Chain A
Amino acid sequence: MNRNLLRQVVIKTLPVMTGYVVLGFGFGILSENAGYGFWWVLAMSVFIYAGSMQYLMVSLLTSGASVISTALATLMVNARHLFYGISMIDRYKGAGAKKPYLIFALTDETYSLVCHGDTPEGVNPHLYYFLVSLFNQIYWIIGSVLGAIVGSAVTFNSAGIDFAMTALFVTVFVEQWLTAKNHIPAAAGVCITVVCLLIFGGDLFLIPSMILILAALSLGRPVFGKEIQS
């Protein structure tokens, strides 16, 4: 492993670093204020490692939720991770000992960085994906633990800084749009999710969106499958 590779990984993950340190920081403050400080924050960021779920976790802990309702809430909020696995099956094949961690650490943001597979030249792709995944989790842990330690002392008005994550996904979306051979999958993803959001509301729309996206892409396979796979 050389310094050049590490530099490339840092550059590639900088947007996620910004977003994770900020969002992790917010989570750390929230959890600390709810009475779940340093060790709890560290445990959640190491073992759960799913941003929106950890935010929700704070309210589940303070409202005295049951284990069953926590498991169900996790299922609803994180079901989208099933899709990430499906898209990475071929790419993570043959990753050997790194594979379990690659799968464990497949968050929204890591997925958005690895789903293209544009590995720097001359680098083992699995080592590259592994470093990207590991660095991202380290950023998340540092951000959240810092939030738990110094959170209440911050006076800088950081309202809106969490937009960094939205901006990251918009950037990836534009980049994919510019390189895609066919725009139907991207357009379908946006349109179906918007319709489901309008029908089912902000708490329930993700799972119906996923089912409909899967159905639309399956139906579209005879139409544009050849073009995309070529």
Chain B
Amino acid sequence: MTDTRAASLIAAAAIVTALLRFLPFLFLGGKRKTPEYITYLGKVLPYAIIGMLVVYCLRGVTPLNWPHGLPELLAVAAVVVLHLWRRSTLLSIAGGTICYMVLIQFIFK
């Protein structure tokens, strides 16, 4: 692929991504008052979307084949327990990640 061609692919991805990010503001972000329906969505969507993102991150898990999603299940459980215990974001993330790395590098090889 020529450099120009590669650059145009990158430009296409950049433009479409920016468009997706700007569209809601272009259509709904005017000076007038935000419709109540959109305000409602703005309040409930974050809960649903974070749930969607958790699943999105775990989409590669294979429950039917070895290791049956066990490393992910255990590491997610570790994050939840750590967070309920201390409610420290850093501790929950660091603990869960180290747990996952140990699980896939040493136990579920």
Contact = CB atoms under 8 A, between A and B. Distances in A.
Interface of A: 14-15, 18-19, 36, 40, 43-44, 47-50, 53, 57, 60-61, 64-65, 67, 70-71, 73-75, 78-93, 99, 103-104, 106, 108, 111-112, 115-116, 157-161, 163-176, 178, 180, 185-190, 192-194, 197, 202, 205-206, 209-210, 213-214, 216-218, 220-221, 225, 228-229
Interface of B: 1, 6-18, 20-25, 28-29, 34, 37-60, 71-72, 75-76, 79-80, 83-84, 87, 89-90, 92-94, 96-97, 100-101, 103-105
Q: Is the interface of B mostly helix, strand, loop or mixed?
A: helix
Contacts of B105: 157, 159-160
Contacts, number: 256
Contact of A48 (B10, B50, B92, B101): B10
Q: Is the interface of A mostly helix, strand, loop or mixed?
A: helix
B16 A75 contact: yes
A164 B67 CA distance: 20
Contacts of B15: 71
A79 to B, nearest CB: 6
